[in-house]
C-alpha cells in the first residue's frame, strides 16, 4: 500500500481539547420518570454535614434513586434482601470544613474513625462502618468539568462498593473497581430508561460522563496488580458500558479472575519516557503494514474474494475532489479507493494531543469503510459508521494479542494505546468533519469499538 501521509506542523496550534469537541453535537432528549424529577428533602434522606447548596441536593437525589434501584435489584440478582447502609452518608466541604457538623469520631464509626479533612478530594465507601462519604468541593469540580451527571455516577460507583460489601469483594483492586463501574452503569441505564424519580439524564451527557473517566483512570503504565488499581481508561469505560447495556447481570457474572484488562506496566524506562508513543512517521508506516496484512487475511475468508488495500493519502486543509468529502477532515473515496486524512486539522493534532493510537484509529476508520465497500456493503449511513468503529476495535484487538509480530517484530502495543482510541472517538468521532450526519453519540461509538475489540468482526454488522 502506498502512503503519502506525513506529519505536518502547523504554524499555530490546531486541535481540540481532550475534554471537548470543536462543535457541540446534541442528540437525544431528557429521560425523566413519569414526571419532572423532584428533590428529596433532608428529612427524608439525611446526609450528615450536607449543606443547602445545589451540589448536595443533587447528590442526595442521586443517592435516593440509587437506593431505590438496589432495593429491587439486590434481591433479584443476589437472592437476599437489600440492607440500607448502616453508617449512613457524609458530606464534607474540603474548602471550609465545619468540624461541628460531625460526630466526635468524625466520619465513620468507632471501629474506623475518619477525620473530615481526610475526605478532601475524594469520595469513598468504608466497609468497616458501612458509610459513603464525599467531598462536595470535588463533586462541584467534576460537575463543572465533565457535566452534572458525573456526580451521580460517582455516587453510584461508591454504592457499588457498598453492594460488594454485601455480596463479597474480589480482593483485587482492578476487579473491584471496574465491577463498581459496571454497577454504576447498570443504574445509569435504569435512569436513562426513565425509571428514576429524582434524577434524569440526557443522552449527550453520557459523552461527558465517559470523558470524566479519563480523570478517574490509573496513570498510564501503572501496575494493574496493585491493590489500589482502578484500571485503564478503556477498562473503566468498558465496564460502565457493560452495565449500562446489560444491567446488573453481567456485572455480577463477568468480573472473575479471567476478565480481560488492558491496563499494563511499561516494560522499559524508555517506554515510560515516551509514554509508549512511536514517532509520527513510524506509526504511519506501522499502520501501512498492519492494516493490509490483517484485512488481506480475513477478507477472503469472510467474503470469498481478495482484498485490494486502499491508498492512504494526507492533505493540508483542503479536502480532495471526491463526492461526499467536502468540508471533511477524514473519509474514504470509493472512486479512487483512497483513504484521505487532513494532516493539519486532524492527523497532527490528534497525535499531539492524544497519542499515536489516536492516529492509528483515525486511519483505520475510513479504511474499514473501504472494507465494507469492497464487500458490497454501505459506506455512508449509520450502520456503516457503527460497523467501521466496531471493525477498528477488532483490528486493534489484534495489536493487543500480538498478531502482527511476524510482519512487525519491533512493533508492540503499549500501555494506554487502547485508551487513546477511546479518546479519539469521544474527541473527534462526534465531529461532523469526521462522521457527517452521525446518528450515534460518542458513548455509542465507544460501545461499538468495545464490541469489536472484545467480540470480533462477527459482531460488526457485516451481513450483506
pLDDT, tens only, 204-247: 789 999 988 887 776 776 877 777 778 899 999 999 999 999 99
CA pair distance 437, 439, nearest whole angstrom:
6
- Check the CA dihedral 25-29-32-38 and report its sign: positive
Compute CA distances 326 → 318, 323, 337, 375, whole Å. 9, 7, 17, 25
pLDDT, tens only, 326-342: 989 999 999 999 999 99
pLDDT of residue 464: 66
User: Going by DSSP bridges, is the β-strand pair 107-109/112-114 parallel, antiparallel, or unpaired?
Assistant: antiparallel
253: left (phi over 0), alpha (psi -120 to 50) or beta: alpha
Per-residue b or e along 59-80, where b marks 16 or more CB atoms closer than 10 Å to that residue's CB? bbbbbbbbbbbbeebbeebbee
**Phi and psi at residue 128, to the nearest 5°:** -65, -45
What are the structural domain ranges in the chain?
A: 54-201+222-253, 274-459
Q: In this model, does residue 132 exceed pLDDT 70? A: yes
Question: Can you tell me the mean pLDDT for 305-320?
Answer: 93
Q: In this model, does residue 373 exceed pLDDT 80? A: yes
pLDDT, tens only, 394-443: 999 999 998 898 888 877 888 889 999 999 999 999 999 999 878 889 99
pLDDT, tens only, 243-301: 999 999 999 999 998 999 998 887 777 777 777 888 999 999 999 999 999 999 999 99
pLDDT, tens only, 10-69: 333 222 222 222 222 223 333 444 457 899 999 999 999 999 999 999 999 999 999 999
Compute CA distances 239 → 157, 230, 245, 379, whole Å. 11, 11, 10, 30
Q: In this model, does residue 3 exceed pLDDT 50? A: no
Of 363, 358, 379, 368, give the one whose Cα is nearest residue 437.
379
Give the range among 305-309, 398-402, 436-440, 456-460 with minimum mean pLDDT: 436-440
CA pair distance 302, 291, nearest whole angstrom:
16
Of 170, 165, 212, 215, give the one whose Cα is nearest residue 188.
212
Cα 313-444-68 angle, rounded to 5 deg: 160
Of 343, 267, 360, 375, give the one whose Cα is nearest residue 14.
343
For residues 187 and 156, is the Cβ–Cβ distance under 8 A? yes
Per-residue b or e along 446-457, where b marks 16 or more CB atoms closer than 10 Å to that residue's CB? bbbbbbbbeebb
For residues 268 and 415, is the Cβ–Cβ distance under 8 A? no
How big, in percent rounded to 5, are the helix, strand and coil portions of the chain?
50, 10, 45
**3-state class (DSSP) for residue 437:** coil
DSSP for 207-276 reads HHHHHHHHHHSPPTT--TTSTT----HHHHHHHHHHHHHH-HHHHHHS-STT--------SSHHHHHHTT
Question: Can you tell me the mean pLDDT for 351-380?
Answer: 95
Amino acid at each position: 500500500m502506498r502512503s503519502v501521509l506525513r506529519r505536518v506542523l502547523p504554524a499555530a496550534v490546531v486541535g481540540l481539547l481532550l475534554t471537548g469537541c470543536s462543535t457541540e453535537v446534541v442528540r437525544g432528549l431528557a429521560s425523566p420518570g413519569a414526571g419532572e424529577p423532584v428533590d428529596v428533602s433532608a428529612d427524608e434522606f439525611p446526609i450528615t454535614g450536607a449543606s443547602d447548596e445545589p451540589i448536595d441536593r443533587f447528590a442526595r437525589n442521586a443517592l435516593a434513586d440509587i437506593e431505590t434501584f438496589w432495593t429491587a435489584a439486590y434481591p433479584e440478582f443476589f437472592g437476599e434482601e437489600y440492607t440500607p447502609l448502616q453508617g449512613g452518608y457524609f458530606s464534607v466541604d474540603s474548602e471550609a470544613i465545619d468540624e461541628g457538623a460531625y460526630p466526635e469520631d468524625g466520619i465513620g464509626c468507632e471501629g474506623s474513625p475518619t477525620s473530615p479533612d481526610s475526605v478532601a478530594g475524594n469520595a469513598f465507601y468504608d466497609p468497616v462502618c458501612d458509610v459513603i462519604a464525599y467531598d462536595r468541593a470535588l463533586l462541584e469540580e467534576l460537575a463543572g468539568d465533565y457535566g452534572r451527571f458525573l456526580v451521580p455516577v460517582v455516587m453510584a460507583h461508591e454504592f457499588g462498593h457498598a453492594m460488594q460489601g454485601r455480596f463479597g469483594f474480589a480482593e483485587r483492586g482492578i476487579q473491584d473497581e471496574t465491577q463498581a463501574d459496571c454497577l454504576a452503569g447498570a443504574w445509569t441505564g435504569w435512569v436513562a430508561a426513565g425509571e428514576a424519580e429524582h434524577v434524569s439524564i440526557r443522552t449527550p451527557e453520557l459523552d461527558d460522563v465517559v470523558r470524566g473517566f479519563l480523570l478517574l483512570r490509573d496513570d498510564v503504565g501503572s501496575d494493574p496488580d496493585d491493590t489500589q488499581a482502578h484500571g485503564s481508561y478503556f477498562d473503566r469505560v468498558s465496564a460502565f458500558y457493560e452495565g449500562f447495556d446489560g444491567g446488573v447481570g453481567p456485572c455480577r457474572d463477568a468480573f472473575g479472575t479471567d476478565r480481560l484488562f488492558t491496563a499494563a506496566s511499561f516494560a522499559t524506562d524508555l517506554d515510560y519516557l515516551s509514554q509508549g508513543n512511536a514517532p509520527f512517521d513510524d506509526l504511519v508506516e506501522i499502520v501501512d503494514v498492519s492494516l493490509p496484512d490483517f484485512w488481506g487475511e480475513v477478507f477472503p475468508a469472510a467474503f470469498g474474494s481478495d482484498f485490494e488495500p486502499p491508498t492512504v493519502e494526507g492533505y493540508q486543509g483542503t479536502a480532495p475532489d471526491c463526492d461526499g468529502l467536502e468540508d471533511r477532515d477524514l473519509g474514504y473515496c470509493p472512486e479512487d479507493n483512497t483513504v484521505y486524512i487532513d494532516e493539519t486539522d486532524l492527523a497532527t493534532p490528534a497525535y499531539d494531543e492524544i497519542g499515536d493510537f489516536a492516529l492509528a484509529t483515525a486511519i483505520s476508520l475510513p479504511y474499514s469503510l473501504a472494507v465494507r465497500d469492497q464487500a458490497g456493503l454501505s459506506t455512508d449511513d449509520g450502520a456503516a459508521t457503527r460497523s467501521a468503529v466496531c471493525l477498528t476495535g477488532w483490528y486493534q484487538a489484534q495489536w493487543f494479542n500480538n498478531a502482527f509480530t511476524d510482519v512487525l517484530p519491533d512493533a508492540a502495543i503499549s500501555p494506554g494505546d487502547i485508551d487513546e482510541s477511546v479518546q479519539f472517538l469521544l474527541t473527534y468521532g462526534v465531529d461532523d468533519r469526521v462522521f457527517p450526519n452521525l446518528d450515534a453519540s460518542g458513548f455509542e461509538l465507544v460501545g461499538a469499538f468495545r464490541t469489536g475489540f472484545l467480540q470480533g468482526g462477527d459482531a460488526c454488522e457485516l451481513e450483506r
